[in-house]
Structure 1
Amino acid sequence: MALANLDQYFAARFQIKSELRPDNTARVCSYLNFPGNTKEAFMFYRSVFKTEFSGKGIQHFGDLPADANHPPIDDVIKKMVLHVELPITGNHILMGTDAPKEMGFTLVQGNNMHICVEPPTRDEATRIFNELSDGGNITMPLQDMFFGAYFGEFSDKYGINWMISFTTKNNKT
């Protein structure tokens, strides 16, 4: 059943993304995969960035219409997140999905991805850094750096790697 539903999964995600983006305007997105806690993570991110989900909000596997060409979706998977988009800052879009092992996914958390946020003020950089790093692991404290930025790095409590960078040459607080 896992692989039989995989093409339906990708087709549905692509369709949702197409509906949320009516034209080809350039945008920056980061796509995050979770082992079943996408909704929890995105509710947290929404509270930090104080924005709202795009389109119909959080869409679940259970929202997929029945398809005679695919086996039914297991009830456990129906509650998982199929797709969500959250505008964060600077026209950056954060996208996410649960990647169920029941559909053949194997997630490995590592250091292969960072989301770099460049807020418009030093104060906003501090706020975002403090709120997102709460409960996580700070690998480089937010500080003025030799390369002219107020910069810090951490992994949040969901294992996602972040860099917060405010260019101090702007002298905005």
Structure 2
Amino acid sequence: MRLIPYLSFDGQCREAFDFYAAALGGKLLGPMTYGESPMRDEMPAESRDRVMHVQLDADGATLMGADGPPPHDGRGNTCINVDVQTIAEAERIFAALAEGGQVQMPLAETFWAHRWGALADRYGKPWMVNCMKPMP
């Protein structure tokens, strides 16, 4: 399991991650925009140039981010992405963190993950649980 900070932006994600990569000496994986994703037809036209996901790898550390949409809508929120290897582990951790909290996006299969979901725990802290599919 890896715990990865996930930063939310409101249109500044690409600029911010270019800055972070230069400052930290890291390498960017992506970014992918909403318009480049399999979800493009479900997204409003004005959001298609926004970053859906970007990852920065720097000296063994990982930072991820995106420009909205909810539940990561760019209000300065940071959440923790729990990256796990199995569906069973994703389901167990998601259920444990959701107990007494509020599920924002139920744990389900997506085009990028065997399982992904988002929630706020009983203390109001935001989490995502990700069991990634192999990336091309």
User: Into which bin does the TM-score normalised by the smaller protein fall?
Assistant: 0.3 to 0.5
TM-score, normalization by structure 1: 0.39
Kindly name which structure, 1 or 2, has the bigger radius of gyration based on alpha carbons. Answer: 1
Q: Could you tell me the TM-score, scaled by structure 2's length? A: 0.48
